């Protein structure tokens, strides 16, 4: 098998001599930017490392068995099927060459170089463990479908292991303790849902344990929950979480994480160990490493979260043909939310189209804040819309309407509503299935030198002799199956070996 780095450099052949736009990422920025170019006289090539568009705000519902992954992650190819000027390519972008105007991407050892005339970079952000990446193995983040499915497996698996342990008379407190690190919207939503699972959904399912006894902790070094929602909504949310049975531990910095638990350091210097097999990391984001590459080539500075400073029109200094949008940018303290990415990407698309028509540049990008919301439990949410501060059922209804509107695809909307009915009106969860692969596959892949690339043949490596032998074997097997059926020979006793006739 050849090394990925030695595979020949293959270049994409442009589909026409029209203006070529490359979009990196199929998230909110990438998808909405590509869609906004639908009517433009350009070819758009979207390159993303997953073949789906991910609606991250509902990841926690996949992790806790409310929604299926398909409902929040439709195939990008299907979403864009009718947009004739757009093509979708799977690949992780590893290099952007601003001088040569090319993007290099890889998937399973295959390399592709894609030239562009205009580029929209919307590669988003990943989880940050604040320099402690070793925590990731024991405390998965909440950024991808893999994360959510792994967490689903870990959460429901912990209850299973507790039932087994309790049946053998063992202490299972560490299995029934769940810690969510980070009291931002994702952490709050996750802690609220685990508490609902333990105290409402699973109460009738076990015999040796009482899921009621599960401890759910929400830990954060900050002095309040949901800081971006202001002091009043933060206090309201903390109270509602506590009513649900969540222990909110503020001013507590996580200093170590291992397989069986974690250590927190309180403000007064006290260290506390919490035994908990299931940990969820919902603290901190780090912008895509592509930002660093762009910074090195342009001199544009990065902030502490790795976000790149862009011009007011979202372009890079000295490279007006390159736009960066969404979670990757640092501009006017804009928050890392979906609307910043969507509006930024639409702005970039409009600018590209306008330039082709000789239009004057637009005014600098201006973000229109449509508000933000977080769900605490069923029927309870908080929302900030302009000066309005909403709590409780009204905020929850708003949450419902907004999320239904933004889920991509009619099919997904219909099934999401059905699943919400099951979980919010009933006490069930439609998506509790968890497999061993969900929990262990990522760790197993990490043990291979080149991850999944080690499991496939290198491009061009083809064993014709192996194919001939396999084909003969399959043909022989198929002929034998046909003979057995046609001669009604199945179930007919054969002569025992060694018997004399
Ligand atoms: C759990 C969670 C909950 C959230 N809840 C909310 C919410 O309620 N409301 C809200 O407004 N915002 C919320 N956000 C934030 C919101 O999802 C982001 O701000 C938004 O997704 C940013 O859009 P983006 O296009 O910049 O990045 P993303 O949507 O993250 O998209 C990045 C894309 O780039 C691809 N990519 C990354 N690196 C590469 C590479 N090297 N090569 C190729 N492709 C690459 C990824 O696969 C992905 O397709 C939440 C985020 C998370 C994680």
pLDDT digits (tens, 9 = 90+) for 425-462: 988 899 999 999 999 998 899 889 888 888 887 777 77
Neighbours of 28 (CB within 10 A): 28
Average pLDDT of the residues in 39-43: 97
Tokens of 269: 């210097």
Q: Measuring CA to CA, which residue among 419, 340, 377, 401 is closest to residue 240?
A: 377
485-495 per-position pLDDT tens digit: 999 988 887 66
3-class SS of residue 382: strand
CB burial of residue 308 (10 Å; 0-12, 13-18, 19+): buried
Flag whether the pTM goes above 0.85. yes
CATH 3.40.605.10 fits 133-282+425-446, yes or no: no
Average pLDDT of the residues in 158-173: 98
Q: Measuring CA to CA, which residue among 63, 178, 80 is closest to residue 439?
A: 63
Atom of ligand 1 nearest to the CA of 328: 26
Please report, for the chain, the start and end positions of each structural domain, with discontinuous segments joined by +: 9-49+91-128+286-356, 133-282+425-446
Ligand 1 contact via 182 beta carbon (within 6 Å): no
Ligand 1 contact via 151 beta carbon (within 6 Å): no
- Ligand 1 center to residue 338 CA distance, Å? 7
CB burial of residue 474 (10 Å; 0-12, 13-18, 19+): exposed
Q: Is the pLDDT of residue 497 over 70?
A: no
Give CATH for domain 9-49+91-128+286-356.
3.50.50.60
- Ligand 1 center to residue 125 CA distance, Å? 6
Ligand 1 contact via 146 beta carbon (within 6 Å): no
Report the alpha-carbon distance of residue 102 to residue 11 in Å, rounded: 9
The secondary element (H helix, E strand) that includes residue 472 is: helix 464-486
65-99 per-position pLDDT tens digit: 999 999 999 999 999 999 999 999 999 999 999 99
- Ligand 1 center to residue 213 CA distance, Å? 35
Ligand 1 contact via 76 beta carbon (within 6 Å): no
Q: Which of 124, 126, 287, 329 to mutate to test the pocket of ligand 1 (most atoms within 8 A of CB)?
A: 124
Report the alpha-carbon distance of residue 279 to residue 258 in Å, rounded: 10
Q: Is the pLDDT of residue 7 over 70?
A: no
240-267 per-position pLDDT tens digit: 999 999 999 999 999 999 999 999 999 9
- Averaged pLDDT of the chain: 93
Q: Is the pLDDT of residue 499 over 80?
A: no
Atom of ligand 1 nearest to the CA of 31: 25
- pLDDT at res. 458: 76
- pLDDT at res. 13: 87
Radius of gyration for the alpha carbons in the chain, expressed in angstroms and rounded: 26
Cβ-based neighbours of 19, under 8 Å, separated by 6 or more: 41, 42, 43, 117, 118, 352, 356
Using an 8 Å Cβ cutoff, are 335 and 228 in contact? yes
The secondary element (H helix, E strand) that includes residue 103 is: strand 102-107
392 bridge partner residues: 381
Residue 189 among the catalytic residues: yes
Q: Which of 71, 189, 196, 351 is catalytic?
A: 189
Residue appearing with tokens 């026409």? 16
Using an 8 Å Cβ cutoff, are 181 and 219 in contact? yes
Distance between start and end Cα atoms, the chain:
54
Residues in the chain: 501
Q: Measuring CA to CA, which residue among 283, 282, 300 is closest to residue 291?
A: 300
- Ligand 1 center to residue 28 CA distance, Å? 6
Report the alpha-carbon distance of residue 397 to residue 373 in Å, rounded: 11
Alpha carbon nearest to ligand 1 atom 53, residue: 143
Ligand 1 contact via 336 beta carbon (within 6 Å): yes
Ligand 1 contact via 127 beta carbon (within 6 Å): no
Ligand 1 contact via 327 beta carbon (within 6 Å): yes
179-228 per-position pLDDT tens digit: 999 999 999 999 999 999 999 999 999 999 999 999 999 999 999 999 99
Q: Measuring CA to CA, which residue among 82, 9, 91, 80 is closest to residue 50?
A: 91
Ligand 1 contact via 181 beta carbon (within 6 Å): no
Ligand 1 contact via 290 beta carbon (within 6 Å): yes
CATH fold match for the domains 9-49+91-128+286-356 and 133-282+425-446: yes
- Per DSSP, the residues of 142-202 read SSSHHHHHHHHHHHHHHHHHHHHHHHTT---TTTTEEEEE--SHHHHHHHHHHHHIIIIIS
Alpha carbon nearest to ligand 1 atom 23, residue: 28
- Ligand 1 center to residue 183 CA distance, Å? 19
Cα separations (Å) of 470 from 205, 272, 465, 466, 475? Answer: 47, 59, 9, 6, 9
Average pLDDT of the residues in 107-120: 95
Tokens of 457: 């043949």
CB burial of residue 349 (10 Å; 0-12, 13-18, 19+): buried
- Ligand 1 center to residue 227 CA distance, Å? 20
Q: Which of 23, 24, 25, 112 to mutate to test the pocket of ligand 1 (most atoms within 8 A of CB)?
A: 25
Tokens of 219: 């830990």
Neighbours of 33 (CB within 10 A): 31
Cβ-based neighbours of 364, under 8 Å, separated by 6 or more: 312, 313
Ligand 1 contact via 187 beta carbon (within 6 Å): no
- Ligand 1 center to residue 327 CA distance, Å? 7
Ligand 1 contact via 234 beta carbon (within 6 Å): no
Alpha carbon nearest to ligand 1 atom 7, residue: 57
> Which percentage of the chain shows pLDDT scores above 90?
84
310-358 per-position pLDDT tens digit: 999 999 999 999 999 999 999 999 999 999 999 999 999 999 999 999 9
CB burial of residue 45 (10 Å; 0-12, 13-18, 19+): buried
Ligand 1 contact via 50 beta carbon (within 6 Å): yes
Atom of ligand 1 nearest to the CA of 340: 19
- Ligand 1 center to residue 296 CA distance, Å? 23
């Amino acid at each position: 098998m050849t090394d990925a780095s030695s595979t020949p450099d293959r270049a994409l052949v442009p589909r026409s001599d029209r203006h070529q736009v490359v979009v990196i990422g199929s998230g909110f920025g990438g998808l909405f930017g590509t869609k906004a170019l639908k009517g433009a006289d350009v070819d758009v090539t979207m390159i993303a490392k997953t073949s789906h568009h991910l609606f991250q705000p509902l990841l926690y519902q996949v992790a806790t068995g409310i929604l299926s992954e398909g409902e929040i992650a439709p195939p990008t190819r299907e979403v864009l099927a009718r947009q004739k000027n757009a093509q979708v390519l799977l690949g992780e972008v590893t290099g952007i060459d601003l001088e040569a105007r090319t993007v290099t991407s890889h998937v399973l050892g295959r390399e592709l170089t894609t030239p562009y005339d205009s580029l929209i970079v919307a590669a988003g952000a990943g989880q940050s463990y604040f320099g402690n990446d070793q925590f990731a193995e024991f405390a998965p983040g909440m950024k991808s479908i893999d994360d959510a499915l792994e967490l689903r497996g870990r959460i429901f698996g912990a209850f299973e292991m507790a039932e087994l342990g309790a049946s053998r008379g063992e202490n299972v407190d560490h299995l029934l303790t769940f810690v969510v690190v980070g009291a931002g919207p994702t952490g709050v939503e996750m802690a609220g849902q685990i508490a609902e699972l333990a105290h409402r959904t699973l109460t009738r399912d076990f015999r040796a344990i009482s899921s009621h006894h599960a401890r759910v902790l929400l830990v954060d070094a900050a002095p309040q929950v949901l800081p971006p929602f202001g002091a009043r909504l933060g206090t309201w949310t903390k109270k509602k979480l506590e009513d649900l049975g969540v222990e909110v531990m503020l001013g507590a910095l996580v200093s170590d994480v291992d397989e069986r638990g974690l250590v927190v350091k309180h403000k007064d210097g006290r260290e506390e160990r919490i035994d908990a097999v299931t940990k969820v990391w919902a603290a901190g984001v780090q912008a895509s490493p592509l930002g660093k590459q762009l910074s090195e080539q342009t001199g544009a500075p990065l902030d502490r979260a790795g976000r790149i400073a862009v011009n007011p029109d979202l372009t890079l200094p000295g490279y007006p043909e390159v736009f960066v949008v969404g979670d990757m940018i640092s501009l006017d303290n804009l928050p890392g939310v979906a609307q910043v990415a969507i509006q930024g990407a639409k702005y970039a698309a409009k600018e590209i189209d306008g330039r082709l028509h000789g239009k004057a540049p637009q005014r600098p990008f201006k973000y229109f804040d449509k508000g933000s919301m977080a769900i605490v439990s069923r029927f309870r949410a908080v929302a900030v819309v302009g000066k309005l501060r909403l709590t409780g059922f009204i905020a929850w209804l708003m949450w419902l309407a907004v999320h239904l509107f933004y889920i991509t695809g009619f099919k997904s909307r219909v099934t999401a509503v059905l699943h919400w009915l099951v979980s919010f009106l009933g006490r069930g969860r439609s998506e509790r299935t968890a497999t061993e692969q969900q929990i262990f596959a990522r760790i197993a892949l990490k043990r291979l030198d080149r991850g999944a690339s080690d499991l496939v043949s290198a491009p061009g490596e083809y064993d014709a002799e192996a194919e001939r032998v396999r084909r003969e074997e399959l043909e022989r097997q198929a002929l034998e199956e046909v003979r057995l059926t046609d001669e009604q020979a199945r179930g007919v006793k054969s002569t025992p070996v060694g018997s004399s006739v």
